[in-house]
Structure 1
């Protein structure tokens, strides 16, 4: 056993659902809105990196 778990995430399932609804013509959203759930994890990582960078700068400034 490799110990790896496969599967789809909540954001992945939401993206698949929205893409299906868009292709079926049930929603008339722009494609950027339909694909937005796929950007969620990337946005979360970017936000985390930004918060860490700001904290590092604030800690460095407080030491001086």
Structure 2
């Protein structure tokens, strides 16, 4: 039997916590840092993906 993980995840939970703390004025950091879990995780996945894509295009002589 397969287990389906459809939860919010660590990054989503951390982002929601930071947004709530910001809206309640319990933290004073800028919105860029409140939303940083989203963009940092996107960069962690996106940068290697782009590197692999560009590397394979160069290797195959497409660029």
> What do you get for the CA RMSD once the two structures are aligned?
2.2
Q: CA deviation at 1:5?
A: 3.0
Structure 2 unaligned segments of length 5 or more: list them.
Answer: none
The aligned runs of 1:24-39 (5 Å cut-off) are 24-39=24-39
| Alignment coverage as a number of residue pairs | 60
- Is 1:40 the counterpart of 2:40 in the alignment? yes
The Cα shift of 1:12 comes to 0.5
Report the 3-state secondary structure (helix = DSSP H, G, I; strand = E; otherwise coil) of the residue aligned with 2:18: helix
Report the TM-score, using the length of structure 1 for normalisation. Answer: 0.68
Q: What pairs with 1:48-63 in structure 2 (closer than 5 Å)?
A: 48-53=48-53, 55-56=55-56, 57=58
**What TM-score do the two structures reach when normalised by structure 2?**
0.69
CA contact (8 A) 1:11 1:40 kept: no
Q: Structure 1 unaligned segments of length 5 or more: list them.
A: none
**C-alpha displacement at 1:50, in angstroms?**
3.1
